[in-house]
Chain A
Amino acid sequence: MNNKPRSMTDDELASMLASVLDAAEPIPAAVIDAAYAAVEMDMLTEELAVLAFDSSVAGALVEMRSTEAEVRLLSFVNDHLTVDLELHGDGRTIVGQVSPPTGQPLQVEGEDGSVTEVATDDFGRFRMTAPSGAIRLRAIGLLITPWISR
């Protein structure tokens, strides 16, 4: 053998193992390409809306009456739609409005992968009891919000 026996510390051994594993367990290039493409796949379906307003963020100074104090107001916007949300103090109730009205239900996605639908009325208004944990809303083909944690 070419290598003379040598002494190595645990850290040296571990770092040699790291480079050995990188070489022996390579990530297929096609799989990396699929990861690169995540950005395009998302755009093809619904456009991610940006948070345009959040009453809970410092700096968003809003005059609130005491009855409104427990309501957090959020607005999400993209090129197609605006979604305004009131998150109520009970942590579950959400009242909102999609404008312009789409006539289609909104999908509410939970962190656990659950999807429920909520109907919107002629004015785009809706009311729901949201699952606990982070959620996001999807108007199929038009808009998806970022994850909203309450």
Chain B
Amino acid sequence: MDPASPTCEWQALVERALTGDQSAWRELVDRLKGVAWKVLYGYDLSTEDRNDAFASTFFRVYERLQSIRDPQKLPGWVATIARNEANTIYRKRAKFVPMAEVPLRSVAAADHSERLIDDEMHAAMLRAFANLPADMQALMRLLSADPPLGYDEVGRILNLPHGSIGPTRQRCLQRLRSSPELAPYLDGGRD
């Protein structure tokens, strides 16, 4: 899927979308939807609000497409817009705290569509993930975005210092490894 020169590719898509080329815009949405969704999924919003935030994220992206100078930064840019949209919706709901940041939520096993998963190790991993605290879930989810976000971008979204992300990721993976759900599938739980 990755072209030889991703920078040119992003640039060309943005330019085509700006001339009203709908297929270029759809391609941009398809490439960036995962990033926006992964940002929004970690927040404590109702399903309806999350869906609204996703749509309005892309509305903003489209509005501001003209002003993006470095199209290669689109994934990080979309992630930031998604976070802002989540905050905007959250603040509308929480009427008395205008500057409130939308909190993270812990996604429970019941929230997941486990029926879509036919591999039993994958299902075990998902149950182990659902037992992680909200901030760990959010971090691992953002780090799994495609196209990938840099540690600086992930840190900005989650208000984490850049230097803490690598070690926290390692701790999360260790917790998954040693969890009662996943450990039986792994060789001794060792690295």
Contacts and interface: CB of A to CB of B under 8 A. Distances in A.
B120 A2 contact: yes
Nearest to A28: B51
A65 interface: no
A7 B187 contact: yes
B190 to A, nearest CB: 7
B143 A14 contact: yes
Nearest to A37: B55
B113 A24 contact: yes
B72 interface: no
A27 B37 contact: yes
B117 interface: yes
B129 interface: yes
Nearest to A146: B66
Interface string A10-41: 10011011111111111110111011101101
B74 to A, nearest CB: 14
Contacts of A24: 112-114, 116-117, 126
Interface residues of B, number: 57
Contacts of A67: none
Which secondary structure dominates where chain B touches chain A?
A: helix
B67 interface: yes
B120 A38 contact: no
A110 to B, nearest CB: 13
A119 B25 CA distance: 35
Interface residues of A, number: 45
Nearest to A9: B191
A10 B170 contact: yes
A17 B113 contact: no
B125 A16 contact: yes
B59 to A, nearest CB: 4
Interface in B164-191: 169-170, 173, 176-177, 184-188, 190-191
B59 A17 contact: no
Contacts of B122: 16, 19-20, 23
Interface of B: 17-18, 20, 22, 25-26, 29-30, 33-34, 36-38, 41, 51, 54-55, 57-59, 61-64, 66-67, 88, 107, 112-114, 116-117, 119-122, 125-126, 129, 140-141, 143-144, 146, 169-170, 173, 176-177, 184-188, 190-191
Q: Shortest 6 CB-CB distances between A and B: which pairs?
A: A146-B66, A18-B144, A35-B58, A34-B55, A7-B187, A147-B67
Given A16-B125, A31-B54, 8 more contacts: A7-B191, A9-B191, A21-B129, A24-B114, A35-B54, A38-B25, A39-B22, A144-B63
